Amino acid sequence: MSSHKLCMIPGPIEFHDDVLQAMATPATSHVAPNFIPILGESIEMLRQVLFTSGQPFIISGSGTLGWDMTACNLIEAGEDVLVCNSGYFGDRFGECLETYGAKVTHHRVPVGEAPNPSAVAELLKTKKFKAITITHVDTSTGVLADIKAVAEAVKKVSPDTLVVVDGVCSVGSEEIRMDAWGVDVVLTASQKALGAPPGLSIMAVSERAIGVFKARKTPIPNYYANWTRWLPIMNAYEARKPSYFATPAVQNVFALHTSLKQIVAQGLEARFAAHKEASKKVKQACADLGLKLVPTGLGHAANGMTAVYYPEGVVATDLLPKMAAHGVVAAGGLHVDIAPKYFRLGHMGISTDPARPDVDATINALKESLAEIKAAKN
Amino acid sequence: MSSHKLCMIPGPIEFHDDVLQAMATPATSHVAPNFIPILGESIEMLRQVLFTSGQPFIISGSGTLGWDMTACNLIEAGEDVLVCNSGYFGDRFGECLETYGAKVTHHRVPVGEAPNPSAVAELLKTKKFKAITITHVDTSTGVLADIKAVAEAVKKVSPDTLVVVDGVCSVGSEEIRMDAWGVDVVLTASQKALGAPPGLSIMAVSERAIGVFKARKTPIPNYYANWTRWLPIMNAYEARKPSYFATPAVQNVFALHTSLKQIVAQGLEARFAAHKEASKKVKQACADLGLKLVPTGLGHAANGMTAVYYPEGVVATDLLPKMAAHGVVAAGGLHVDIAPKYFRLGHMGISTDPARPDVDATINALKESLAEIKAAKN
């Protein structure tokens, strides 16, 4: 498709042809023998991707729905939650938690910085927190949180606190070892490094968190997001039995299944390495162009995306349409404090394959667009 | 695809090739200039399909999410809701409403019967109901409710009561004139007579109901389903402007758009007539085979599906696999009182096109399967 522009935003990302083909699977009943194993195997493969024996959920909805599922199933009104807030998505997750009655304390860090495990430890000493949430990669800043270090701090200071990771922009691109690191919830969506089109809210929940959920004292204040209804469905599909609560997004699940098979076949270690390699290339190119990253250090910059300030005198309306004219779609700023000052590039999933031109094409589009802007000003 | 079996269940239904092609649209940003009008036009076309000037919502999720959106946005805790309950989906909608604090009164009718407008009028006199819900076509029984008559009864007895129609199994196959009939909410999903794959929760809400929503006194107890967040998004897409709350299911919206264009091009009157014609053919074939419909009268039988009892001595495990072997997927029973005794056929969307073999193939598969079962018993 010659008119197709490379989608190099931090999600949705470029899809493999086989994934698109799966999206076009002809009409199939959600309880048909050819669909049941597709959802069942997807649940199983998610465990491999997240290194967990916990319970995956694959549900029709946006990634945002994962916030509701976490809040309404695990938190009871009046309970305290600590939100590690590195940008837009920390603010929003906090709002969602408050909707369900949580008392939210924010561990806010300056734009471009990552949550501080020592500061988290100090905050955890101030009161009993039911859960702590961490945005693994804040899509608004490109900051990568050290969830392993934060989870360790939690374990030392407040071991009962549930560790919740918003992995919307990290699952499939950044290392997550749920069980080994003591992470209780990872929530994500289909359209980022899991390599499928948007439309699926995806989670994995530790046995411990499922226990906390089952032991809750108050009713769950949500119908669609209630795990009581979804647990038997997920168990049934995994046991290869038909079951019904709400019609799953059959074609999207076929697409996710196709992408998960590719991810598992590639191997997670190789996948993490490929994302690091692509990221290094993009960030080096930005440095060579004299551009400054939003993350304040490379040690806490995401490997699946890059958030970078415009050079002096360049704005979104200059750069983004020029890049699009060069065949590459990049994203504008999202963090309210700096939105007009920076832009974002995604480099996830198949775009990290060195055999594909995506990363080089993106770097070239950026270089040429900046050169054109400079030339026009002279 | 020679191995494809016709999907003749009451949703998901068969998709037009162009719809499947749209599902395989390459990666596209949810705020890209080629996507914004797709969602914007879909919103506009939904108004045509439902004969309304109200506010459509197109959101990533299952049809079930429409219950949550109705309950959490329009009902405040302690308010009374009257649920016209003709089967499985009345029970479930009632549960959803109670989750959000509604006091639910059920107008229950025997299996196979439709809600009774006079009984509804009497019930409406007993107390102040904030809303009444009607399952237009109960997918569990194939019963078609006379929503026009019920809405008229409401208007006479309790004009402030909001009229909510669960149109999951009726929008696109049964006549609905939202504004003329005084219907305040129609909720549906993408995978039935709207002709697109599952994955989208779709609604239209009257200006009056939006007013009630805006005048509510208590906070909305849900984050993802909160119209406060979605209204500006729908307005932005309709104004062809980028906007973000949660990433829409881009490919599913492309598919919905393709199907809606076909529906509008066909014309709603022609579409209703085509569904009536297909339904007549299927129901006549059932009568010819001596099979008894679940609806107690043809006057309140759906035009997009048929629920029919097995003949004496035949069970699901006999009939459904045989039909599948003849290339047609039918659905088992869902209504808890009679589940093992009946089966369900869908005849919606492109399957009602007389140029397609779907309806005849379904009737033939049914006939031949029953004959085989009879022969095996003799």
How distant is the Cα of B211 from the closest Cα of chain A, in angstroms?
22
**Is B224 within 8 Å of chain A by CB?**
yes
Tokens encoding A344: 């974002």
Q: Which amino acid is at B378?
A: N
pLDDT reported for residue A251: 98
- Has residue B1 got a pLDDT over 60? no
**Is A197 within 8 Å of chain B by CB?**
yes
How distant is the Cα of A75 from the closest Cα of chain B, in angstroms?
13
Domain at A6-12+269-377, CATH from 3.20.20.60, 3.40.50.300, 1.10.599.10, 3.90.1150.10: 3.90.1150.10
- Has residue B292 got a pLDDT over 70? yes
Put simply, the answer to whether A252 touches B252 (Cβ < 8 Å) is yes
Q: Comparing C-alpha atoms, which of B330, B279, B278 is closest to residue B301?
A: B279
**Is A361 within 8 Å of chain B by CB?**
no
pLDDT reported for residue A212: 98
Chain B residues with beta carbon closer than 8 angstroms to that of A20: 24-26
Query: What gap in Å lies between CA A310 and CA A293, rounded to an integer?
Result: 9
B344 assigned binding-site residue = yes
**Is B151 within 8 Å of chain A by CB?**
no
**Is A316 within 8 Å of chain B by CB?**
no
Tokens encoding A319: 């750069």
Domain A17-264 class, CATH top level: alpha beta
Distances (CA, A) of A346 to A169, A274, A311, A352: 10, 14, 19, 10
pLDDT reported for residue A243: 93
pLDDT reported for residue A1: 40
Map residue B80 onto helix, strand or coil. Answer: strand
Q: Considering CB atoms only, which of A32, A59, A247 is closest to B329?
A: A32
**Is A12 within 8 Å of chain B by CB?**
yes
Chain A residues with beta carbon closer than 8 angstroms to that of B330: none
- Has residue B3 got a pLDDT over 90? no
Q: Comparing C-alpha atoms, which of A7, A168, A147 is closest to residue A89?
A: A168
Q: Considering CB atoms only, which of B11, B189, B223 is closest to A99?
A: B223
- pLDDT tens-place string over residues B23-44: 999 999 999 999 999 999 999 9
Q: Comparing C-alpha atoms, which of A133, A175, A177, A178 is closest to residue A154?
A: A133
| Residue A112 near residue A143, CB atoms below 8 Å | yes
Q: Which residue of B has its CA nearest to A30?
A: B12
Distances (CA, A) of B236 to B36, B37, B57: 9, 10, 12
How distant is the Cα of A276 from the closest Cα of chain B, in angstroms?
22
* Average pLDDT along chain A, 378 residues, taken 10 residues at a time: 84 97 96 96 98 98 98 98 94 98 98 98 98 97 98 98 98 98 98 98 98 98 98 98 95 98 98 98 98 98 98 91 96 94 98 97 98 91
Query: What gap in Å lies between CA A289 and CA A38, rounded to an integer?
Result: 45
| b/e A84-118 (16+ beta carbons within 10 angstroms → b) | bbbbbbbbbbbbbbbbbbbebbebbbebbbbbbbe
Domain B6-12+268-377 class, CATH top level: alpha beta
Chain B residues with beta carbon closer than 8 angstroms to that of A100: 221, 223
| Residue A218 near residue A20, CB atoms below 8 Å | no
Domain ranges of chain B: 6-12+268-377, 17-264
Residues 324-343 of A with CB under 8 A from B: 329, 331, 334
β-partners of residue A166 are A135, A187
pLDDT reported for residue B198: 98
Q: Which amino acid is at A176?
A: I
Chain B residues with beta carbon closer than 8 angstroms to that of A60: 60-62, 65, 198-199
Query: What gap in Å lies between CA B254 and CA B368, rounded to an integer?
Result: 38
* Residue from A251, A252, A317 whose CB has the most chain B CBs within 10 Å, to mutate: A251
Map residue B257 onto helix, strand or coil. Answer: helix
Distances (CA, A) of B155 to B83, B132, B216, B252: 16, 11, 22, 37
- pLDDT tens-place string over residues B307-319: 999 999 898 889 9
Chain A residues with beta carbon closer than 8 angstroms to that of B27: 7, 12-15, 197
- pLDDT tens-place string over residues A135-159: 999 999 999 999 999 999 999 999 9
How distant is the Cα of B319 from the closest Cα of chain A, in angstroms?
15
Query: What gap in Å lies between CA A318 and CA A150, rounded to an integer?
Result: 39
Put simply, the answer to whether A247 touches B15 (Cβ < 8 Å) is no
| Residue B133 near residue B288, CB atoms below 8 Å | no
- Has residue B22 got a pLDDT over 90? yes
Chain A residues with beta carbon closer than 8 angstroms to that of B58: none
Q: Considering CB atoms only, which of B23, B29, B226 is closest to A329?
A: B29
Put simply, the answer to whether B67 touches A224 (Cβ < 8 Å) is yes
* Residue from B218, B247, B345, B358 whose CB has the most chain A CBs within 10 Å, to mutate: B247
**Is A305 within 8 Å of chain B by CB?**
no
**Is A285 within 8 Å of chain B by CB?**
no
In angstroms and rounded to an integer, the radius of gyration of the C-alpha atoms of chain B is: 21
Map residue B82 onto helix, strand or coil. Answer: strand
- pLDDT tens-place string over residues B211-256: 999 999 999 999 999 999 999 999 999 999 999 999 999 999 999 9
Phi, psi of B117 (to 5 degrees): -55, -35
DSSP class of B295: S
How distant is the Cα of B197 from the closest Cα of chain A, in angstroms?
7
pLDDT reported for residue A367: 98
How distant is the Cα of A119 from the closest Cα of chain B, in angstroms?
29
pLDDT reported for residue B17: 97
H-helix or E-strand containing B185? strand B185-189
Centroid of chain to Cα A302: 11
Residues 77-116 of B with CB under 8 A from A: 95-96, 99-100
- Has residue B66 got a pLDDT over 80? yes
pLDDT reported for residue A377: 86
Tokens encoding B18: 């162009």
* Residue from A23, A64, A241, A258 whose CB has the most chain B CBs within 10 Å, to mutate: A23
Q: Considering CB atoms only, which of A60, A71, A99 is closest to B60?
A: A60
A258: CB partners within 8 A, 6+ apart: A16, A18, A19, A21, A22, A196
Query: What gap in Å lies between CA B62 and CA B299, rounded to an integer?
Result: 30
In chain A, which ranges are continuous DSSP H helix?
17-23, 36-50, 64-74, 88-99, 117-126, 147-157, 178-181, 207-214, 227-238, 250-266, 268-288, 316-325, 358-377
**Is A259 within 8 Å of chain B by CB?**
no
How distant is the Cα of B180 from the closest Cα of chain A, in angstroms?
31
- Has residue B102 got a pLDDT over 50? yes
**Is A245 within 8 Å of chain B by CB?**
yes
- pLDDT tens-place string over residues B343-373: 999 999 999 999 999 999 999 999 999 999 9
Tokens encoding A186: 């990872």
**Is B221 within 8 Å of chain A by CB?**
yes
- pLDDT tens-place string over residues B164-219: 999 999 999 999 999 999 999 999 999 999 999 999 999 999 999 999 999 999 99
Query: What gap in Å lies between CA A98 and CA A75, rounded to an integer?
Result: 10
Put simply, the answer to whether B15 touches A27 (Cβ < 8 Å) is yes
Q: Considering CB atoms only, which of A9, A64, A251 is closest to B246?
A: A64
